[in-house]
Amino acid sequence: MLANSLTRKSTIQFLDRIIQFSLFTFVTFSMFSISVTQISFAIGALSWLLKVHLTRTWKEMRGTLVGIAILCFCVAGVLSIITSVDLENSSTLLKKLLQFVIFFWVANSIQEEKRRDLLVGLVILAGLAAALHGLLTPLAPNESRIKGTLSKEATFAGVLMLSGSVALGRFLFRKPKEYWTLGSACIIWTCLLLTLTRQAWLGFFIGAAFMLFFFNKKSLLVLPLFVLSLLLFANESLVNRVQSLTNFEQNSLQARITVWKVGWKIFKDYPITGCGYKCVDAIYSQYPDPSGLVARNRGMHSNVLQVLVDTGIVGLSSWALIWMTYFIEIFKRLRTITAEESQTNSRGILMGSSAAVLAYLVGGCFESSIYDSEVSMLLYFLMGLSLARVNKSA
């Protein structure tokens, strides 16, 4: 009996070390290698589940309404797959739903304030390293946009948007100030600009405005001054991209509107559970599109419309519930933090992570990023990190 008890204890300690190692590996490679990121997530999450089983702590797992909303969306996703117009193709997207496990893994594995703060710092440093790589690597002759450590400009911009928001939040709301986080945010933002990815710009801009509003309303004046300086001093290609944000006649916006119109028609034919994950490929030819844009893009260029088309009203409702419950939980915790006598990183983590989520939602109005594993996995990690209930460091 004693031997079994010692064996169980040593196994749990071993699993705990694997979990923590996986967390740090996940963050380190989140902006560099999707394969390593997925492997570390799989090993860490399975080790966590095994530890929970061995310690018989299923009932003690700390959850929030966010977790319930995520489970509801996963059920809606499974229902959408079952009723999809192309079951074989749609079922391959089940792995995207499994990525939500990242939220539960992180939120329940991090129980020490020091470890949480270290992981946040590592997110910022990984973003800084990725940004420096993007800035220092010469562009190929036929390229005009930086895609850095990842395969696509929009994906690279997405992870920079998230890490830059976290860096700015930690700087604004931490006492005493850590100026290395401000420097990191500036470098990340510079690289983000050179990706020429407008939805990521817009997301980061709104996220920054959100944080500045709660930090000091007068500091919001920095944002229009920054945009003005860009228009005056940036190169022509960058200025044209900035100006296009207010040009409702520009081609890319009109192309999105065309795709959205077809998406709306598809939704009306499959309103309850949608046509199924990534099933637009199977049915887009049934909807006349003289422009050919739907055939070329396939995706809906909007997370909201993509979820609506793929999973219907059931899926969109549960997807929206995730973000509603997340922000409710964030503001509940912010009210608790303001009553405490001394603060270090807690407020900055809550504000930076919620700004990152807001940036993702705003940018996602004009791009389908829900299937972008690099962006989504980092997003779920930040959500879990911000809602982890940690013990104060000694």
Tens-place pLDDT, residues 293-331: 666 666 788 899 999 999 999 999 999 999 999 999 999
Does residue 266 lie in a domain region?
no
Residues of the chain with pLDDT under 50: 341-342
Say if CB 135 and CB 191 are below 8 A apart.
yes
How many Å apart are CA 287 and CA 302, to the nearest integer? 19
How many Å apart are CA 286 and CA 34, to the nearest integer? 35
How many Å apart are CA 353 and CA 330, to the nearest integer? 9
- Residues 87, 25 within the same domain: no
How many Å apart are CA 294 and CA 300, to the nearest integer? 8
Q: According to the model, what pLDDT value does residue 342 have? A: 45
Q: According to the model, what pLDDT value does residue 167 have? A: 96
Residue partners of 96: CB distance under 8 A and separation at least 6: 77, 277, 370, 371, 373, 376
- Residues 291, 340 within the same domain: yes
Does residue 260 lie in a domain region?
no
- Residues 39, 125 within the same domain: no
- Residues 85, 179 within the same domain: yes
Does residue 238 lie in a domain region?
yes
Does residue 392 lie in a domain region?
no
How many Å apart are CA 34 and CA 377, to the nearest integer? 9
- Residues 1, 123 within the same domain: no
Say if CB 273 and CB 310 are below 8 A apart.
no
How many Å apart are CA 350 and CA 210, to the nearest integer? 12
Helix (H, G, I), strand (E, B) or coil at 101: helix
**C-alpha pair distances (Å), 13 with each of 6, 50, 53, 54, 243:** 11, 12, 14, 11, 56
Say if CB 374 and CB 150 are below 8 A apart.
yes
How many Å apart are CA 98 and CA 326, to the nearest integer? 19
- Residues 193, 313 within the same domain: yes
Residue partners of 211: CB distance under 8 A and separation at least 6: 165, 168, 169, 172, 173, 351, 352, 355
The secondary element (H helix, E strand) that includes residue 79 is helix 65-82
Does residue 272 lie in a domain region?
no
Q: According to the model, what pLDDT value does residue 290 have? A: 56
Tokens of 16: 């705990």
Q: According to the model, what pLDDT value does residue 390 have? A: 85
DSSP states of 300-341: -S-HHHHHHHHHHHHHHHHHHHHHHHHHHHHHHHHHHHHTSS
Does residue 283 lie in a domain region?
yes
Of 24, 45, 61, the last residue of a domain is: 61
Alpha-helix runs per DSSP H in 140-298: 153-173, 179-194, 198-215, 222-233, 236-244, 251-269, 280-283, 293-297
Reading phi first (left if > 0) and then psi (alpha if -120 to 50, else beta), residue 274 is in left
- Residues 185, 245 within the same domain: yes
Q: How many domains does the chain have?
A: 2
Domain residues for the domain of 21 are 1-61
Tokens of 166: 């976290």
- Residues 90, 218 within the same domain: yes
Say if CB 355 and CB 210 are below 8 A apart.
yes
Q: According to the model, what pLDDT value does residue 338 have? A: 60
How many Å apart are CA 280 and CA 370, to the nearest integer? 15
Does residue 271 lie in a domain region?
no
Of 14, 44, 61, the last residue of a domain is: 61
**Torsion angle of the four alpha carbons 95, 97, 102, 105, in this order, in degrees rounded to the nearest 10:** -100
- Residues 19, 108 within the same domain: no
Say if CB 266 and CB 305 are below 8 A apart.
no
Does residue 48 lie in a domain region?
yes
- Residues 192, 145 within the same domain: yes
Q: According to the model, what pLDDT value does residue 38 have? A: 94
Residue partners of 32: CB distance under 8 A and separation at least 6: 126, 129, 130, 149
Q: According to the model, what pLDDT value does residue 284 have? A: 74
- Residues 77, 193 within the same domain: yes
- Residues 42, 120 within the same domain: no
Of 46, 61, 76, the last residue of a domain is: 61
Q: According to the model, what pLDDT value does residue 341 have? A: 42
